[in-house]
Amino acid sequence: MKAIEVEGGRQLRGELTVHSAKNSVLPILAATILSGDTCVIQRCPRLEDVEASGEILRHLGCRVQWQGEDLMVDSSGLSRWDIPDRLMRRMRSSVIFLGAILARCGMAELSYPGGCELGPRPIDLHLSALRTMGARVEEHCGALACRGEDLQGAEITLSMPSVGATENAILAACGARGTTVIANAAREPEIVDLQRFLRKMGAEVRGAGTATVTVEGGRPLHGCRHRCIGDRIVASTYLCAAAAAGGDIRLNGVDYRHLSTVITALQQAGCRISSQDRRIRLISDGKLRGITPVRTSPYPGFPTDAQAVLMAAMLRARGTTMFVENVFQSRYRHVAELMRMGADIRLEGRVAVVCGVPKLCGAAVRCTDLRGGAALVVAGLQAEGVTRVEAIHHIKRGYSDLVGDLARLGANIREIEI
Ligand code: UD1
């Protein structure tokens, strides 16, 4: 088993290019099957979740091949419409294949995505969007059987702007007859990226990035090449790491406007940040101060995925910082681990209050989920002594080389066998 060992106390200095966004790549990999042709995802990050998507695609009959840094998917030979439970459980976002398989095959069989690391993650909005387009969905003992040979464009209003439900509805709508209008759609940059990809394939999708997305279904689609946007959560992680440890880092490849709420919070905490298009520079002396309450909400609000890493950055800040988690019911499993390192955090329901402490101590801690795991590393970089972070498979789902990147910035960090 592998673990990360990090010794705190070193400032971070240098320059990095941030890899493409996991949350763009995954729905786009699902979307490749709509083309019935060859698509190439350029400079695709090698993440566990990307490998899991590749396995699903192979199971469906697609040819999936790494060509250097690019990932090629040829879906011309797609021959199945089911995803076995074993693959569904490997990755929570596997449900995004539902809309794409349905659009391509007229039917889909899969099970509920496994686990519940952030509290319940229902898929009722996904299913009701598909039902509105005429799909018949039967649920039986955790298995889903969907039929929709004749999907019809429809007006869909999401009761909340779910990212996954918006993506599933867009993908299914590409295979439906007529116009679909999705109201109260999620506005995340990754949805805009999915639209860009689908347009390159020949689809007619507009409005992504606003609350209303329109899809003219039934267009003939073809293969394309696409490079996804930079990962705003990976960028946020490195900014939080340098903010807390101190130093001077430059990040390339990510649009600073996609993480403006995170940048604003770090500026308020005392960091100097300058940004231009796809470059961000952060300078910090490592002595942060508490900031006004951080409330997570759908984009363009503060991202729930950056809550844990910002919290880790604020652990030694002078004063108090309140976090309110509004997107997921239970996204504070990292708190107990951070407290093992000496953090002072009070938790009540959706609210966590961090009182800055003068120092953190290295400890043995365990990743509870992907971003919570990254938060433990951010805490370790500013702790006295050695922190050993276990269960790092969570981190590998979303960071292609967290350890290597931080080591290149000067951190005393390594992966060890335990
Ligand atoms: C996506 C991201 C994830 C991020 C989240 C919120 C991907 C692969 N993952 O997850 O990293 O944390 O957005 O920004 O892009 N909900 C329902 N019913 C549904 C669907 C969602 O009640 O049918 C609820 C969820 O339980 C949650 C909220 O809506 O409380 C937001 O979830 P959603 O936006 O769907 O997140 P994901 O797409 O799963």
Tell how far the Cα of 122 is from the centroid of ligand 1, in angstroms.
9
Looking at the CA of residue 126, tell me the nearest atom of ligand 1. 23
Angle between helices 189-200 and 22-31 (to 10 degrees): 30
Q: Annotate the chain with three-state secondary structure.
A: CEEEEEECCCCEEEEEECCECHHHHHHHHHHHHHCCCEEEEECCCCCHHHHHHHHHHHHHCCEEEEECCEEEEECCCCCCCECCHHHHHHCHHHHHHHHHHHHHHCEEEEECCCCCECECCCCHHHHHHHHHCCCEEEEECCEEEEECCCCECCEEECCCCCHHHHHHHHHHHHCCECEEEEECCCCCHHHHHHHHHHHHCCCEEECECECEEEEECCCCCCCCEEECCECHHHHHHHHHHHHHHCEEEEEECCCHHHHHHHHHHHHHCCCEEEEECCEEEEEECCCCECCCCEEECCCCCECHHHHHHHHHHCCCCECEEEEECCCCCCCCHHHHHHHHCCCEEEEECCEEEEECCCCEECCEEECCCHHHHHHHHHHHCCEECEEEEECCHHHHCCCCCHHHHHHHCCCEEEEEEC
Looking at the CA of residue 327, tell me the nearest atom of ligand 1. 30
Walk along the chain (418 residues) and give the pLDDT tens digit of each residue. Answer: 999 999 999 999 999 999 999 999 999 999 999 999 999 999 999 999 999 999 999 999 999 999 999 999 999 999 999 999 999 988 888 999 999 999 999 999 998 876 546 666 789 999 999 999 999 999 888 889 999 999 999 999 999 999 999 999 999 999 999 999 999 999 999 999 999 999 999 999 999 999 999 999 999 999 999 999 999 999 999 999 999 999 999 999 999 999 999 999 999 999 999 999 999 999 999 999 999 999 999 999 999 999 999 999 999 999 999 999 999 988 999 999 999 999 999 999 999 999 999 999 999 999 999 999 999 999 999 999 999 999 999 999 999 999 999 999 999 999 999 9
Residue 162 in contact with ligand 1 by CB distance below 6 A: yes
Q: Minimal CA–CA distance to 302: which of 323, 331, 272?
A: 323
Active site residue 116: yes
Q: What is the best residue among 56, 95, 160 to mutate for testing ligand 1's pocket, by most ligand atoms within 8 Å of CB?
A: 160
Q: How far apart are the first and last CA of the chain?
A: 5
Which residue has its alpha carbon closest to ligand 1 atom 13? Answer: 163
The pLDDT score that the predictor gives to residue 119 is: 63
Which residue has its alpha carbon closest to ligand 1 atom 20? Answer: 123
Q: What is the best residue among 162, 168, 259 to mutate for testing ligand 1's pocket, by most ligand atoms within 8 Å of CB?
A: 162
Looking at the CA of residue 328, tell me the nearest atom of ligand 1. 30
Which residue has its alpha carbon closest to ligand 1 atom 1? Answer: 163
Tell how far the Cα of 295 is from the centroid of ligand 1, in angstroms.
16
CA pair distance 208, 191, nearest whole angstrom: 6
The pLDDT score that the predictor gives to residue 375 is: 98
Residue 125 in contact with ligand 1 by CB distance below 6 A: yes
Residue 254 in contact with ligand 1 by CB distance below 6 A: no
Tell how far the Cα of 414 is from the centroid of ligand 1, in angstroms.
32
Largest CA distance in the chain: 63
The pLDDT score that the predictor gives to residue 111 is: 85
Residue 123 in contact with ligand 1 by CB distance below 6 A: yes
The pLDDT score that the predictor gives to residue 140 is: 84
The pLDDT score that the predictor gives to residue 118 is: 63
Q: Give the pair of three-digit tokens for residue 258.
A: 């996609």
Looking at the CA of residue 299, tell me the nearest atom of ligand 1. 14
Residue 124 in contact with ligand 1 by CB distance below 6 A: yes
Query: Which residue among the candidates 39, 44, 105, 116 is catalytic per the annotation?
Result: 116
